[in-house]
Amino acid sequence: MRLLTEGKKVILATVIQQSGSTPRKRGAQMVIREDGSFLGSVGGGRLEAEVLQEASKLWTEDRAKVLAFHLTGQEVAETEMLCGGDVEIFLEPLSPGLTELYARLLEIKKQGGEAALATVISSEPVREGTGDKGLIVPKGKGLGPLALEGDALTAAHEVIQEKKVRLIPYQGKRLYLEPIFSEPTLYIFGAGHISRHITPVARMVGFKVVVIDDRSEYASQEYFPQADEIWVEEFEGIGKKIDPDEQTYMVIVTRGHLHDYTVLKQVLHTDCRYIGMIGSHRKRDLIYQQLMQEGHTQKELERVHAPIGLDINAETPEEIAVSIVAELIKVRAEGRPAQEKA
């Protein structure tokens, strides 16, 4: 987004179709800068090298391009991949005229909401203001030059509801529909050493991070420069200030047994995607026993990941943070449609 507003040229590479076993699934994307540097990945190895090579030709041609890769037999061996399948990757130069559209898209991701981004798959020369891209929202007017009607509009609304990418025929071409929704939000309760290491790793893999602690000397920008938000709040009553949904993840790593219990009892009944609590099996069982005496059910407690994190024999705060974020990634991936999992 920043590159577009600065008038810089950007090429977006998107996996629009795949079958069989391939490095990345439909929806994987990579942003390519004019100097050849890039963000993201569409598969790595030789496949990605060829994508970058083809992209380098488009800076002067000013047109989009579809690349087809058949990763089978000898071609798989040459790409050094242990995968076999077919992949289509769409390379499109992004026009500065789309700045407003992408600003709205970014707003949805950061602040909430949902939409479908529609892109006409074509290799024709790019012309400013042509109807090749649009943002469709559930209610109200869409944004961008592309206005959908009939079956295409219906498909866009289905993509919003199902949160699945879709490629459909459209006016003799094809239309790629991509769901846009808010980033998953990770609430970290506790501002200790482990939280400081969780935050940058979680941000790196696509989580919005909110750090919460009742101590202002710990819950600060100095200790958490990469956190999206920092709340200095008492743990008692914090549940009333959070509106969790299926895109919400809770990590409980406070400084003690009492605070962990205080937070857990408030979030157990919520519709969040993940709850994890740090501590030993003994500590967990003591907290569970107290919660069950207060009327919480075994079913509620079974959804808690405790001890938190994947079992990788982690010991240091850095290692524990990696194990926790790895578990968040695992849970997030299990919630995706099968064809979108990497």
List the domains of the chain with CATH numbers: 2-94 (no CATH), 98-181 (no CATH), 185-334 (3.40.50.720)
Enumerate residues 6+ apart whose C-beta is below 8 A from 196: 223, 224, 317
Q: How far is CA 204 from CA 34, 178, 200, 228, 328, in A?
A: 23, 22, 6, 12, 13
Torsion of CA 190, 191, 193, 199, to 10 degrees: 100
d(CA 40, CA 60): 23
Token readout for 140 is 């109200």
Where are any strands of DSSP class E within 185-287? 185-189, 208-213, 229-232, 248-252, 274-277
Q: What is residue 82's predicted lDDT score, i.e. its pLDDT?
A: 52
Task: Please report how many Cα atoms fall inside a 13 Å half-sphere around the Cα of residue 70, on the Cβ side.
Answer: 3
Q: What is residue 66's predicted lDDT score, i.e. its pLDDT?
A: 92
d(CA 129, CA 126): 9
Q: Kindly give the interhelix angle for 317-334 and 193-204, rounded to the nearest 10 degrees.
A: 40
Of residues 291, 327, 331, 286, the one with CA closest to residue 310: 327
Tens digit of each residue's pLDDT, the chain (342 residues): 566 666 678 899 999 998 877 778 889 999 999 888 998 888 878 888 899 999 998 888 778 899 998 876 544 444 444 556 888 999 998 877 788 888 888 888 877 788 999 999 987 654 444 458 899 988 766 777 888 889 999 999 999 988 899 999 999 999 999 999 888 999 999 999 999 999 999 999 989 999 999 999 999 999 999 999 999 999 999 999 998 988 899 999 999 999 999 999 999 999 999 999 999 999 999 999 999 999 999 999 999 999 999 999 999 999 999 999 999 999 998 865 434 443
Task: Please report how many Cα atoms fall inside a 13 Å half-sphere around the Cα of residue 269, on the Cβ side.
Answer: 8
Q: Kindly give the interhelix angle for 281-293 and 257-267, rounded to the nearest 10 degrees.
A: 50
Q: How far is CA 141 from CA 50, 97, 137, 138, 337, in A?
A: 39, 18, 7, 9, 28
Q: What is residue 23's predicted lDDT score, i.e. its pLDDT?
A: 75
Place of tokens 């919520």: 270
The shares of helix, strand and coil residues in the chain, as percent rounded to the nearest 5, are: 35, 25, 35
Decide the pairing of beta strands 208-213 and 229-232.
parallel
Q: What is residue 324's predicted lDDT score, i.e. its pLDDT?
A: 98
